[in-house]
Amino acid sequence: MHGRGGEHGESFRCVGCRLDVSVTAPGTAHRNHCPQCLASLHLDARIPGDRASRCRGRMTAIGLAVRPDGEWLVIHRCLSCEGVSANRIAGDDNPLPLIRLATRPLADPGVPVRALLAL
Ligand SMILES: [Zn+2]
Ligand SMILES: [Zn+2]
């Protein structure tokens, strides 16, 4: 994995709750969602952190998934283009919205979670 060089001090304003979020976080190389409300922006195209998407729509967390290696992922869906992505949770994500997601079945059974987990 790549280090954190050059990313220091970078932050973004959460589209959901307006929190100023630092992109560096424990447990993830590149945080892209808000630790408070889990909202995100559609910036990445294929690989988390690639910032290759032109969409920039608001992404909302719709579910949680656990990879075979035990890693937890938040499933985000873009409200603009319906794109779905899976992102590692960060060490300081607020556990409350995570638990709410974990105890709720995926709202849309058509979400290709299996395909995402194969990444
Ligand atoms: Zn937020
Ligand atoms: Zn989008």
**Per the domain annotation, does 46 fall within a domain?**
yes
Q: Which ligand is nearest to the CA of 31?
A: 1
- Locate tokens 């290709």: which residue? 112
Q: What confidence score (pLDDT) does residue 119 get?
A: 53
113 occurs within a structural domain: yes
Inside any domain, residue 106: yes
Closest CA to 59 of 71, 36, 75: 75
In which domain, by residue range, is 18 found? 11-117
Q: What is the pLDDT along the chain (119 residues), one digit of tens a residue?
A: 554 444 456 888 999 999 999 888 887 777 889 999 999 999 888 777 788 999 999 999 998 888 899 888 999 999 999 999 888 898 899 999 998 888 876 555 555 666 566 55
- Cβ(51)–Cβ(10) below 8 Å: no
Residue 95 counted as domain residue = yes
* The predicted structure's pLDDT at residue 79: 95
Q: Tell me, yes or no, whether 3 lies in a domain.
A: no
> How many residues in total does the chain contain?
119
- Complete DSSP assignment for 46-88: SSTT----S---EEEEEEEEE-TTS-EEEEEEETTT--EEEEE
The answer to whether residue 1 is domain-embedded is: no
d(CA 56, CA 46) in angstroms, rounded, equals: 14
Please give the tally of structural domains in the chain: 1
In a domain, 2, yes or no: no
- Which of 63, 59, 72, 47 has the alpha carbon at shortest distance from 110? 63
Residues lying with their CB under 5 A of ligand 2, a single-atom ion:
42, 55, 57, 78, 80-81, 83
Domain membership of residue 92 (yes or no) is yes
Instruction: Please check whether residue 9 is in contact with residue 15, taking contact to mean a CB–CB distance below 8 angstroms.
Output: no
Residue 110 confidence (pLDDT)? 59
Q: From the CA of 58, how far away is ligand 1's center (Å)?
A: 11
103 CA from centroid of ligand 1 (Å):
20
